[in-house]
Amino acid sequence: MAIFVAARADAQLGTTHFGVSRRGEGAALRQYAPAWHAPGARVACAGREIPQVGETYGVLGVHSAEGWGLESGVNEHALAVGGETLSTRELGEASPGLTEHDLVRLALERGRNAREALEVLAALIERFGYGVPAADGARGATDHRFVFADPGEVWCLECAGRRWAARRVTRRLPDHPRPAPEIHADWEISAKGLETYARERHWWDGPGRLDFAAVYGADSAALHPEETRGGPVGRDELEARFRAAGAAGATFHTALPHDRRRPWPVWVSGGPTALGVFLPVYLDALLPTETAGPNGFDALTRCTDGPVELAAPRLREAWKGFEADLERERREVEREVTALFNAERDAEGRLRLGEWSAAVWARAATRAAELADAFPA
């Protein structure tokens, strides 16, 4: 899985674009409503049970196979969080800790912006531990890089067990991130005792500031990441990158808006990304049932029996009329719903969004089945 983040000066769409490209089997989307919790309540994560907080925020995300957590997602405050696997020299926990998917969902449920979500996640790692116990002292290979994005800024945190370092992201993240840490001596905040811990294990005794990637990375010869090209990024470019990567399932992206009284879409791939279409879902409305299980998009997988590059151009051309109609409808519906929100008729607005989204997904599933029959592999 890879995370794409880019800044864009666009008052209508937002200033930060967040996208996730995932390979392999498709994953369902999940939606969790905001909630208040009684004092003393606890939450049973996949890794372990921990105390619940008084308030959790509304979340929409890519559901993980673990059953409780999320691979990535967004929340009602236009905060986005995702994670990527890292390999570090740190050993696993002696007892079960929180999983990376636990941490993504917890950060989304408890954070209102990128910095706050980072602090939530870091505190959970330090208090409850991270990952599964290591077998026979084996090197830990399941540490993670977490990315936190909101309309104003982006932060990146890399962890090695309970130790972590974080910095703001001021340029586009690499399209093909390395499986080793990429934060060096440029970290802005870190776990307490980050340098002391490294000295005690004789990993580092140099003067100056600790280089997190070089000291905590599995490969002591870790290199500085290459700069990536800048420039504006929008939905079309992100979709092109996802399709080129051959990503599948619940690959999604969104522009994180400053104005959250307007409905803002999260664009989700229906079927294999290289062959399918991106469809909108909304935090303000119930998810269409087609996003959560087998549906007409599965028929598109028949087109991947041969090389994807043979089927993709024909299928992409065949989707164009559908996508043009979808964009016209979306703009009209979002204007209508914005007027309802401004008139404090929120329930009507959410119902309208939900009904329209469900109709769009149903039409797209039917179209996908037609295309699979028209363009067999």
Query: What Å distances lie between residue 122 and 1, 106, 127, CA to CA?
Result: 22, 11, 9
Residue ranges per domain, the chain?
2-216, 291-374
CATH of 2-216, one of 1.10.3680.10, 3.60.60.10, 3.30.70.20, 2.160.20.10: 3.60.60.10
> Among positive and negative, which fits the CA dihedral 150, 155, 160, 165?
negative
183 vs 163: CA distance, rounded Å:
13
Rounded Cα–Cα distance for residues 358 and 229 (Å) = 38
Nearest to 213 by CA among 228, 224, 199, 198: 224
pLDDT digits (tens, 9 = 90+) for 315-366: 888 899 999 999 999 999 999 999 999 999 999 999 999 999 999 999 998 8
Taking the CA atoms of 277, 281, 286 and 292 in sequence, report the sign of the dihedral they define. Answer: positive
The model's pTM: 0.88
pLDDT along the chain (377 residues), means of 10: 62 68 70 96 91 97 81 94 86 77 96 97 92 53 84 92 90 60 93 92 89 82 35 65 66 87 89 80 89 66 60 83 95 96 96 95 88 72
User: pLDDT value at position 139?
Assistant: 45
Token look-up 């912006």 returns 113
140 three-state secondary structure: coil
